[in-house]
Amino acid sequence: MESSSSKLDKGYAPILALLGVQAFFGSLPVFGKVVLKVIPAFALVGFRVGITALALFAFLRFKNELALADKRDYLRFFGLSFFAVTFNQLFFITGLSLTKASNTSLLAVTIPLFTLGIGAAIGAEKLRKRKIFGIVLAAIGVILLIDPRNASFSSETTLGDFLIILNSLCYGIYIAFSKELITRNGALRSVAWVFIFASIFVVPLGVYSLLQVDIYAVEAKIWLAVLYIGVVATLLPYLFNAWALARVNPSTVAVFVYLQPLIGFVLAVFLLGEPVGFVVIIAGILIFTGVFLATKKFRQSETEILHLT
């Protein structure tokens, strides 16, 4: 008989963690747009990666838990860092500066599709009908919620849109390939080494980019926004994401991306007093139904595997 804490760890706790991830990530475009008016994209990426890497390195070093048991995992994390952070962050932040926020939200529907496809190709996922149906249903809900008419896929945003798609591909590769590593080494240590390796390339690039800015003229509120992005919109969601990934399938993690725009609309209702339209209600039902179907199926499959082992 499983304890209640064990059931929570396998069931609701990862779901709550993934909801937190989307809430944190969902705030990034808003704060990112504010910061990018003053600080170049590469510099912002450097701050995001540098703050996270430094915080995790200091914490694990203090606890003497930084070293990896399997020396070969250092090389694996080095390779994974390019897709998890280096390429991922550079493509996203640069793409965000070259396209509309609505374009970014629409193109995010490709993340679970990439993750599912890559996971199936490497044998980490099984293409079950309910899983595919749930992902497609949630994607339709996102498209309905955002309304493609609000997006603007023109020659002016082509490069930015392409970079956002590449960002989705990188994130899908990271999610699909990282589960075993994170399960073996733990979320905290895994995220730490991913960011430490990424900082080797990203931070110097960010420093060079920052030389173009008169940092003394940057307002305090911009630096506070940078700190928020580094801690709340980067460090926390990556940790929560990794912790959940060790407990659920990769595409379960990816499908929660579809909740980001819905969370944004809900916040707008409560914080800004915006009205809730019929389309928003239908879109919300589709998204939640799709995520539920996909998540329910994954959890059933994982329970069977756990019993067999």
Say how many residues make up the chain.
309
CB count, 10 Å around CB of 69? 8
Q: How does pLDDT run across 254-275, given as a tens digit for each residue?
A: 778 777 777 666 665 665 565 6
Q: Assess contact for 251 and 126: CB atoms under 8 A.
A: no
Q: What is the DSSP letter of 148?
A: G
* Rounded Cα–Cα distance for residues 131 and 151 (Å): 28
Question: How far are the Cα atoms of 137, 218, 245, 251 from residue 179, in angstroms, in the given order?
Answer: 25, 40, 6, 11
Residue scoring higher pLDDT (57 or 165): 57
Highest mean pLDDT among 28-37, 117-126, 208-217, 254-263: 208-217
pLDDT band at 11 (very low <50, low <70, confident <90, very high): low
Q: How does pLDDT run across 17-27, given as a tens digit for each residue?
A: 988 888 888 77
* Rounded Cα–Cα distance for residues 268 and 152 (Å): 22
pLDDT, residue 301, reads 44
Is the pLDDT reported for residue 222 higher than 80? yes
pLDDT, residue 245, reads 86
% residues pLDDT > 70 (the chain)? 80
pLDDT, residue 150, reads 59
CA-based angle 96:19:179, to the nearest 5?
Answer: 85
Q: How does pLDDT run across 43-99, given as a tens digit for each residue?
A: 998 999 999 999 999 999 999 999 998 999 999 999 999 999 999 888 987 887 787
Please list the helix, strand and coil fractions of the chain in percent, rounded to the nearest 5, in that order: 85, 0, 15
Highest mean pLDDT among 128-132, 210-214, 284-288: 210-214
Is the pLDDT reported for residue 168 higher than 50? yes
Is the pLDDT reported for residue 179 higher than 60? yes
Average pLDDT, the chain: 80
Q: What is the DSSP letter of 150?
A: G
Give the residue among 146, 34, 172, 165 at the shortest CA–CA distance from 97: 34
Q: What is the DSSP letter of 69?
A: S
% residues pLDDT > 90 (the chain)? 32
Is the pLDDT reported for residue 296 higher than 70? no
* Rounded Cα–Cα distance for residues 6 and 24 (Å): 26
Residue scoring higher pLDDT (282 or 309): 282
302, burial (CB in 10 Å: exposed 0-12, middle 13-18, buried 19+): middle
Give the residue among 173, 193, 153 at the shortest CA–CA distance from 83: 173
